[in-house]
Chains A and B, each alone.
Chain A
Amino acid sequence: MSTATLDNNSAALNAAEATASHLVAITLRVRRFNPEVSADAEWVDYQIQVDPKERVLDALHKVKWEIDGSLTFRRSCAHGVCGSDAMRINGKNRLACKTLIKDVNPEKPITVEPIKGLTVMKDLVVDMEPFFQAYKDVMPFLVTKGNEPTRERLQSAEDRERFDDTTKCILCAACTSSCPVFWNDGQYFGPAAIVNAHRFIFDSRDEGGEQRLEILNDKDGVWRCRTTFNCTDACPRGIEVTKAIQEVKRALITRRF
């Protein structure tokens, strides 16, 4: 690498830092709900100063830590790998820790509300149990028959690549709670469960594919998908969710996987 690249890079960083060092005023418009206080949800505006390069999660923390400690949301890792903080930000499902303020137009109020289709428990916290139940229903584990080998099962790099995309899922529910079919009918397994079924159906080591496909052939299974691509747009891990669902549908027809 040339020093020139380093200099360019420092220049780019200097410029970035110059813009970042001045804080901007934003309005964070949060959907608040606490049944201990009121049966109705309401929008509450918070005026705060933030660095535009900070995350929406940082802005939520700023409100919680400096203005109103009762503002409630889930979070843990703060960099998009634990899946705790999926929420609707400006009407779109995202992780608050992977969304920078500058990317959601800080000029206007930034709206933050809970993901849809799951019961709101308090503020941005929803009941995740139905989501995890759908996941558990698709047998999300390797099924094998016969004797285990002494060493590892062999798998070619190509066979491993076949299901690579769907192994990235962090179970954040951004996809499932962006799906109009799921909003209208909570019985539908939803995209995340199908993604996790896909991860095993297309794993060359797995021998439970037929059983798993029968589960997904159910009236609440893959056929409910109307390919609106909301799930693919929502996935913070960049998984091609709709494509995975289509591949499961095709496997159901051809019984080849």
Chain B
Amino acid sequence: MQIHTYDTVIVGAGGAGMRAAIEATKRSRTAVLTKLYPTRSHTGAAQGGMAAALANVEEDNWEWHTFDTIKGGDYLVDQDAAEILAKEAIDAVLDLEKMGLPFNRTPEGRIDQRRFGGHTRNHGEAAVRRSCYAADRTGHMILQTLYQNCVKEGVEFFNEFYVLDQLLTEVDGERRSAGVVAYELATGEIHVFRAKAVIYASGGTGKFFKVTSNAHTLTGDGQAAVYRRGLPLEDMEFFQFHPTGIWRMGILLTEGARGEGGILRNKDGERFMEKYAPVMKDLASRDVVSRAIYTEIREGRGCGPEGDHVYLDLTHLPPEQLDAKLPDITEFARTYLGIEPYTDPIPIQPTAHYAMGGIPTNVMGEVLSDNTTVVPGLYAAGEVACVSVHGANRLGTNSLLDINVFGRRSGIAAAEYALAHELPPLPEDPAAFVEEQVARLRDSTGTEKVAELRSELQECMDANVMVFRTEQTIKTAVEKIGELRERYRNVSVQDKGRRYNTDLLEAVELGNLLDLAEVMAVSALARKESRGGHYREDYPNRDDVNFMRHTMAYREVDANGVESIRLDYKPVVQTRYQPMERKY
């Protein structure tokens, strides 16, 4: 076991992690731990753009952006946080441009902007061009630009280091972050990173679904590490299903395709979104569009022999426009479906895309241990976190914005905290949990297989807690996840070696997915209303009287070692916007 000491340790090297690293490295001795290489992070798969009311191409302002974000999140958004997000968006985009990001340009040479779902002028009048973009690889360009600037700033990376545990220590009667424990993929060695401040920026949990736009590596490692240590997870029942994933594969086809004029059609060729969202049509918010697609499918208007998908139609758009604005997604259709988008519509279905919930933080990125108490030295930003700027449903282009605004904020806050505080003592035997976990999995002779359990989990989640949920389906999921968690105790791996043992790490990742799937299902069961991405057929309306509040889920272990989930609730921060019925 090796022990390293830093001021600030960042877990994850996607957009949020690297944006934080640029700030933290300037101010403090910083290490970035990533289970991949930084440029492999899933920020690079984001396509359509980053929202900011630059008003480069038409009238716009941050107040409209704030409103759209709150309405998009079905009023579960903390309004003070949304206002910060929308205000700081403008500088966040300009900062990236100055770092070198090659945005598409207007004829005047300014950053170009395009339409995106749920972004409107003057509180819902019409779609507004707010998304700053670089073709349909905006996330790729953000990831590359941030990595380039990390190289420039000399950011210290530990590549292929898996963080498996969060260290907390008691100082003056309060729990503080003392560092993290990581597993080095190349050697199997366990490393303790002592740090004054830790920032989680380790991304989402989409791999508990089968049809997902998420990478194989998005297994909620950060959420699971803090949850296991007794810290809460917020709003985990809210998961976004992006309307346009490639049929059966789930690969993302950007909403920018509809922003450029693409239209969704059912088997009769009908532009069905006109029925569901008369004003915004195909550019309504994602939860609305995904439900509309499944409604069409359920009512027998789906396409194909099994009627299990609809079409994204780009055939009326000029090929030059597709080449210039949507080159990657048209290429995906050619590569994976053998379809030419110039002439043929693309079969799509909703795909599990984004976790609105996560580790609760305040607007400085400080992690909360209950509704109000901060864990000193612990921060989170990006998809792993829940500020909450996305509420019950995130607007497209607000996540690339979130990682930049709150990545930067947490990087600054963590480094400043580190400079002002002493290194906390390590807990006794800091690597014990990870050593035991790794040894148990490596030495197990159990009969259960990781791939089988994972596949059963994914089937169960797709069938029971996707776009439509009922008490019955959620209970089925809770039961199944419980059974899988039980069987997971008996899981074993074939690779018993120390060198690049990805077999072992897949087993660890499955454990994380199981923990988080359970939190999601239990949180969803208790929320007896429909709001944003959480739609209960048995409670189809939003219930502001009983459920205008954030779910806080805690892991509890009783004296006999029996685990359970305790749910609590946290008030939503409301400033200037009163909840209204949500129409697009």
Please list the residues of chain A having a beta carbon within 8 angstroms of any beta carbon in chain B. 1-3, 5-6, 8-10, 12-14, 16-17, 34-37, 53, 64-66, 68-70, 72-84, 98, 100, 121-123, 125, 128, 132, 135-136, 140-142, 144, 148, 151-157, 160, 163-164, 167-171, 200, 203, 205-206, 238
Contact of B100 among A3, A82, A141, A160 (CB under 8 A): A141
Contact in complex: A121, B500 (CB < 8 Å):
yes
Contact in complex: B493, A69 (CB < 8 Å):
yes
Contact in complex: A79, B344 (CB < 8 Å):
no
Instruction: For B305, give the chain A residue with the smallest CB separation.
Output: A14
Contact in complex: A76, B36 (CB < 8 Å):
yes
> B561 at the A/B interface (Cβ < 8 Å)?
no
Contact of B99 among A8, A80, A142, A163 (CB under 8 A): A142
Contact in complex: B500, A9 (CB < 8 Å):
no
CA distance A128 to B217 in the complex (A): 19
Instruction: For B186, give the chain A residue with the smallest CB separation.
Output: A121
Known contacts A1-B316, A168-B137; is A72 also within 8 Å of B110 by CB?
no
Contact in complex: A70, B495 (CB < 8 Å):
yes
Contact in complex: A36, B100 (CB < 8 Å):
no
Contact in complex: B41, A82 (CB < 8 Å):
yes
Most A CB atoms within 10 A — which of B99, B102, B107, B499? B102
Contact in complex: B494, A171 (CB < 8 Å):
no
Contact in complex: B217, A76 (CB < 8 Å):
yes
User: Apart from A70-B495, A98-B335, A170-B39, what are 9 other A-B pairs with CB-CB below 8 Å?
Assistant: A6-B311, A9-B339, A14-B304, A66-B451, A69-B503, A73-B502, A122-B499, A132-B37, A168-B140
Contact of B267 among A6, A80, A238 (CB under 8 A): A6
> B44 at the A/B interface (Cβ < 8 Å)?
yes
Contact in complex: B311, A75 (CB < 8 Å):
no
CA distance A164 to B494 in the complex (A): 45
- Report chain A residues within 8 Å CB of B97: 152-153
Listed stretches B118-126, B141-149, B192-200; interface member: B141-149
- Report chain A residues within 8 Å CB of B171: none
User: How many A-B pairs with Cβ below 8 Å?
Assistant: 183
Please list the residues of chain B having a beta carbon within 8 angstroms of any beta carbon in chain A. 36-37, 39-42, 44-45, 93-94, 97-100, 102-111, 134-135, 137, 140-141, 144, 148-149, 151-152, 186, 215-217, 249, 251, 265, 267-269, 303-305, 311, 313, 315-316, 328, 331-332, 335-336, 338-339, 343-345, 347, 449-451, 493-495, 497-503
- Report chain A residues within 8 Å CB of B100: 141-142, 200, 203, 205-206
Contact in complex: B251, A76 (CB < 8 Å):
no
Kindly provide the distance from the CB of B266 to the nearest chain A CB, expressed in whole angstroms: 9
- Report chain B residues within 8 Å CB of A125: 500
Known contacts A14-B305, A76-B215; is A155 also within 8 Å of B105 by CB?
yes
Contact in complex: A77, B45 (CB < 8 Å):
yes
Kindly provide the distance from the CB of A111 to the nearest chain B CB, expressed in whole angstroms: 21
- Report chain B residues within 8 Å CB of A73: 502
Contact in complex: B216, A78 (CB < 8 Å):
yes
Instruction: For A70, give the chain B residue with the smallest CB separation.
Output: B495
- Report chain B residues within 8 Å CB of A171: 39
- Report chain B residues within 8 Å CB of A144: 98
Kindly provide the distance from the CB of A22 to the nearest chain B CB, expressed in whole angstroms: 15
- Report chain B residues within 8 Å CB of A5: 315, 343-345
Kindly provide the distance from the CB of B520 to the nearest chain A CB, expressed in whole angstroms: 22
Contact in complex: A140, B151 (CB < 8 Å):
yes
CA distance A1 to B268 in the complex (A): 11
Known contacts A1-B345, A121-B499; is A83 also within 8 Å of B152 by CB?
no
- Report chain A residues within 8 Å CB of B268: 3
Most A CB atoms within 10 A — which of B40, B93, B99, B105? B40
Contact in complex: B98, A153 (CB < 8 Å):
yes
Most B CB atoms within 10 A — which of A64, A70, A148, A152? A152
Ranked 9 nearest A-B pairs via Cβ: A142-B100, A65-B451, A69-B494, A154-B109, A70-B495, A69-B503, A141-B148, A141-B152, A152-B97
CA distance A154 to B108 in the complex (A): 8
- Report chain A residues within 8 Å CB of B494: 68-70
- Report chain A residues within 8 Å CB of B269: 1-3, 6
Contact of A36 among B451, B499, B502 (CB under 8 A): B499
Known contacts A6-B345, A152-B97; is A13 also within 8 Å of B39 by CB?
no
CA distance A144 to B144 in the complex (A): 18
CA distance A171 to B98 in the complex (A): 22
CA distance A140 to B39 in the complex (A): 13
Instruction: For B108, give the chain A residue with the smallest CB separation.
Output: A154
CA distance A66 to B451 in the complex (A): 8
